[in-house]
Amino acid sequence: MRRPVPPRWWAAALLLAGLAAAAAAQTPPPGPAAPRPEGGVIVITGPSGRKMSMAVPPLLAPGVAALQSRVSEPFTATLRSDLEYSNAFVVTDARTEPSGSRDVAGSEAAGRWLSTGAEVLVDTRGDVAGDRVSVEARVWDLKSRKLIFGRRYSGGATYVERIAHTLANDLIKEFTGQAGTFLSTILFVSDRDGNRTKEIYAMDFDGRNPRRLTNHHSLVLNPDARAGKVVFTSYVHRFPQIWTMSADGSGQRELSTGLELNASPALSPDGSLIAFSGSAKGNPDIYVMNAAGGGLRRLTSTRALEASPDWSPTGRQILYTSDQTGTPQIWVMDAEGAGSRRMTFAGNWNDEAAWSPKGDKIAFACRNEGDFNICVMDFATGNTVQLTSDGANGHPAWSPDGTKIVFQARRGGSTQVYTMDAADGKNKRQLTNGGGSNMQPVWLP
């Protein structure tokens, strides 16, 4: 630092020092409530709202060049990427960042950052001791020059990106009140192992670190996850059966039903029940059984085809697909199978419904003519928006915070996993590429 540290900076440093004693990289303890700027920061998210403009300059690290590439660059890239991806903020262009001091408690420095259009500065400073990295993060409201947020993180030097994800989660929580999803996991099905097999894989929310969870050398399909459990269909014993396992792939167990078809399993929110598409004599209906096996009950009793159930967040209702009117459409019934009613009326094929975490929306694969797209319907009003228009899309699932939809799409040769903003379909990102086709994603809560 080229000039004397202003008094406010010392105050912040003391706060950080107090936090540092107990801080850990993966689960920083909640610190004392960070002071809010006077007048509050306006945070409006959504397609019509104004988003807060946030400057996220590079992590300052001591002058060893090696630290730049090992620590500073991956940290900053991850943090910026997460905050941009969240769509809760506008992250200002790195090329507009002013040089000079970041000690924005002083009006001169704050003015320089304000002139770039930023309202908030995320100032991060790192240090490395042995194989440990520590990062101090301070978030300043530039107009009032007050500290909004201060926290210290530390962890193994190989977990720089994880520290960045943790900070991004904390910032999302701080500014939106929602839990961030930057340390979350997405499950999907991939045929990358060849031999006409499909297996369940897990990956980080951004597509990194794919790892295989099943090894059935067979057809493994349609994972669903709730309450630390995963259910799926496997053909490993020739006939499609429902299996259960933990979210890390351990404890795999087959659940016997006595039915010929056992497909599309969906866990109830508390993980105690499984709804699925079952069939005894060529009449696929929605069934429910205990997640531990047993307790089989049939919920629908039409002569038509029923498939693809999904539970409401309350566990009181079930969405499903039925072709009882001649085309596959989304229906809803209560969890005991009564009170069924049709939800979709537009288009000749609506399928694979997924209830949003708040229960106010449903996402589904929709088709009128041509390829399938992803549609989102407001559950109360029936108002529907189509979020895709390119390629063949399907199998939508919600992020735990409800801001994103993960789905599969074929744009060209193979099917891959994408995410987009649930509100308007913007911010599309492809999470998988290569490695054959990747499909049927579901976001772990």
Element spanning 171, H or E: helix 160-176
Among 68, 176, 178, 283, binds another protein (CB under 8 A): 283
Among 251, 294, 295, 382, binds another protein (CB under 8 A): 251
| Residue 26 Cβ vs another protein, minimum distance, rounded to whole Å | 29
Q: How many Cβ atoms are within 10 Å of 61's Cβ, its own excluded? A: 23
300 interacts with another protein by CB under 8 A: no
342 interacts with another protein by CB under 8 A: no
Q: Measured from the CB atom, is 57 or 240 closer to another protein? A: 240
**What is the distance between the alpha carbons of residues 405 and 377, in angstroms, rounded to a whole number?**
13
Q: Measured from the CB atom, is 78 or 277 closer to another protein? A: 277
**Residues 6 or more apart whose Cβ sits within 8 Å of residue 409:** 388, 390, 391, 392, 393, 394, 415, 416, 418
Q: Measured from the CB atom, is 10 or 239 closer to another protein? A: 239
- 165-224 residues in contact with another protein (CB under 8 A) are 196-198, 214-219, 221-222
Q: Measured from the CB atom, is 128 or 392 closer to another protein? A: 392
**Residues 6 or more apart whose Cβ sits within 8 Å of residue 373:** 365, 366, 367, 386, 387, 388, 389, 393
DSSP state of 71: I
Q: Measured from the CB atom, is 105 or 439 closer to another protein? A: 439
SS3 call for 291: coil
How deeply is 69 buried, as exposed, middle or buried, from its count of CB atoms within 10 A (0-12, 13-18, 19+)? exposed
Among 28, 57, 180, 240, binds another protein (CB under 8 A): 240
- 364-403 residues in contact with another protein (CB under 8 A) are 365, 372, 394-395
DSSP state of 204: E
Name the residue among 95, 189, 99, 251 with its Cα closest to residue 406. 189
x/- mask, another protein, residues 29-68, rule CB under 8 A, reads ----------------------------------------
| Residue 14 Cβ vs another protein, minimum distance, rounded to whole Å | 54
**Residues 6 or more apart whose Cβ sits within 8 Å of residue 221:** 189, 198, 232, 233, 234, 240, 263, 440
The neighbouring-strand residues paired with 17 are none
Stretch of residues binding another protein (CB under 8 A), selected from 158-166, 345-353, 379-387, 397-405:
345-353
Among 108, 248, 254, 270, binds another protein (CB under 8 A): 254
329 interacts with another protein by CB under 8 A: no
How deeply is 14 buried, as exposed, middle or buried, from its count of CB atoms within 10 A (0-12, 13-18, 19+)? exposed
SS (H, E, C) 368-390: CCCCCEEEEEECCCCCEEECCCC
302 interacts with another protein by CB under 8 A: no
| Residue 171 Cβ vs another protein, minimum distance, rounded to whole Å | 37
| Residue 385 Cβ vs another protein, minimum distance, rounded to whole Å | 20
Q: How many Cβ atoms are within 10 Å of 301's Cβ, its own excluded? A: 10
Among 321, 356, 403, 419, binds another protein (CB under 8 A): 321
Sign of the alpha-carbon torsion through 89, 90, 95, 101: negative
Stretch of residues binding another protein (CB under 8 A), selected from 47-55, 79-87, 245-253, 424-432:
245-253
273 interacts with another protein by CB under 8 A: no
282 interacts with another protein by CB under 8 A: yes
E strands along 161-240, which residues? Answer: 185-190, 199-204, 211-212, 220-226, 229-234
Angle between helix axes 160-176 and 73-86 (nearest 10 degrees) is: 30
Q: Measured from the CB atom, is 72 or 308 closer to another protein? A: 308
Stretch of residues binding another protein (CB under 8 A), selected from 80-88, 109-117, 177-185, 304-312:
304-312
**Site residues (vs another protein, CB under 8 A):** 196-198, 214-219, 221-222, 233-240, 251-254, 256, 260-261, 263-264, 277, 279, 281-284, 305-308, 321, 323, 328, 349, 351-352, 365, 372, 394-395, 439-440
